[in-house]
Amino acid sequence: MFARSISYPGSPSTLDDGIAFVRDEVMPIITQMSGCVGMSLVVDRESGRAIATSSWESQDDMRGSFDQLASVRERGAEILGGAPTVDEWEVALMHRDHRSADGACCRITWGRISDIDRGIEGFRSEVLPRV
């Protein structure tokens, strides 16, 4: 599985409009695209930052959707008030057993490791069982 994250610096005052845009306009478009397996949006209400992430069955599906979604990214930048940063990822490990409810929170940790395979195995065997 692969994922594309679009990060908008945004503003706290524009987040509700950004959330409505993603929920009402972006999700219906993107989840109907070939190879899309889901989408999420996380926001930081204090800073205004928003990260929209779409998941894809293959790297080809993900990359094939990029140009088709250019106008959506531009509209998101207009609404949220900041130029987006786009990152593409291979999803090495995921666990999700239910849909999130309104008001749900998450913790996102960014890190760099020299041995990615060892890091993934450590996360799989030590962190996930505890979570």
The domain ranges of the chain are: 2-98
Report the C-alpha gap between 3 and 17 in whole angstroms: 24
**The CATH number, out of the four listed (3.30.70.1050, 3.30.70.100, 1.10.580.10, 3.40.190.170), of the domain defined by the range 2-98:** 3.30.70.100
Q: Which of 7, 62, 59, 60 is nearest to 36 (CA)?
A: 62
Report the C-alpha gap between 119 and 114 in whole angstroms: 8
Query: pLDDT tens per residue, the chain (131 residues)?
Result: 999 999 999 889 999 999 999 999 999 999 999 999 989 999 999 999 999 999 999 999 999 999 999 999 999 999 998 899 999 998 887 766 667 777 777 677 777 788 888 888 888 888 878 87
Buried b / exposed e along 86-104 (16+ C-beta atoms within 10 A): eeeeeeeeeeeeeeeeeee
Beta bridge partners of 51: 7, 42
